[in-house]
Structure 1
Amino acid sequence: MEQEEKQDNIEVWEDYVNIKDLVLSLVVCSLTSVGGYIIAPAGQQPLIFGLVGAVLGFIISTILIKPKRQFSYTNDEA
C-alpha cells in the first residue's frame, strides 16, 4: 500500500506531494489570481486584485485539499 502511495507522489522541496492535489491547487490559485487581475480597474488595482485572488485561491485550496500526514509522538527520554 505504501509503495502505491509513493507512485502517486512526487518530491517537491524534500517533501512528497500528491500529483492530483498539486495540480488542483495550481489550477485554483491560477484561476483566482488571473480572475482578480482581469476584473480589476485600471491603474495599480490589478496588482492588488491579483494578490487578493492568490490569497483567496490559497484559502480555497486548503479547504478542498486535506492534509494526509499522521504524526505520532513518542517519549524517548531515559
Structure 2
Amino acid sequence: MIDLLKQEQAIALTMVSQKVSWLAAVRLYKNVSRTDAAKMLNITPDALKRIEKEQISAHMKSRMAEIYECPDTLLVCPSWMHGRTE
C-alpha cells in the first residue's frame, strides 16, 4: 500500500498539472468522475464543483473519504502544500 506522503505527492502533481483544487485532485487521483461522485453524495455535479473549491464540513469529508476509499486526512491539503494552492 502506498504511504500517505506518496499519495499526497501524487495528488499534488495532479493538482498542479490539472490546475484544480486539492479535493478535485484527490477525486481525480482516485479515478472517480465528478458526475459519479456527485451521484454518490446525492448532490449535483455543479454543487460538487463548488464544494471542491471550499473547505468542507466534517460530515462531507467523511462521506467523500468513503466514496474515494481513502482516509479523511488525505482530503486535507497537507501543510507542505500551503502557498501552492489556488
Give the TM-score, by structure 1 length.
0.29
Of Structure 1 and Structure 2, which has the larger fraction of its residues in strand?
A: 1
Between Structure 1 and Structure 2, which shows a larger proportion of helix residues?
2
The structure with the largest alpha-carbon Rg is: 1
Q: Which TM-score applies when normalising by structure 2?
A: 0.28
